[in-house]
Chain A
Amino acid sequence: MWEKVFLKRLRRELPLWVEKGWVAPENHNLILDDIAARTSGTRYTPVAFAVLGVLLFGVGIISFFAANWALIPKLVKLALLFGSMWAAFAGAGWLLVGQRQINRGMTPALQLLGVILYGANIMLIAQIYHIQSHFPNGVLLWTLGALAVTYLVPSQIVAVAGLALGALWARLDIFGDLPTPIAFAETVYWPFFIVLALFVPPIIRHSWRIAAWLAVLAFAAWCAISLVSLGIESDTDAVHILQVGLLFSLAVFLLSAVLERLDRWELFADPLNRLAAIFSMLSFFGLTISDVHGRGFVVNAPNAAPLEWVIGTLLAALLVAAMFAWRNYITRPSAREPYIIWSRVLLVATILLMLVNLFASAIISATLWIYLAFNILYLGAVVWLIYTGYRTGDRFRVNGGFLFFAIGLVSLYFDNFWALLDRSFFFMGAGVLLIGGGFLLEQQRRRLMSSMVAPTDPQPGEGST
Chain B
Amino acid sequence: MTELLARFSSLSDMLSTSPALAIGLTLGAYFAGNGIFVRIGRPLWLPPVVLAAVMLSAAIALLSVDYARYREGAQWLTVLLGPATVALGIPLYQQIHHIRALWRPILCTLPVAASLAAVYAVAIAWALGATPEVMASLAPKSVTAPIAIGITEQLGGSVSLMMGGLLITGVVATLCVDVLARVMAIEDERILGFALGINGHAIGTARAFEISPTAGAFASLGMGLTGVFTAIFLPVAFRLIAH
Same complex origin of A and B: no
A residues near B, CB below 8 A? none
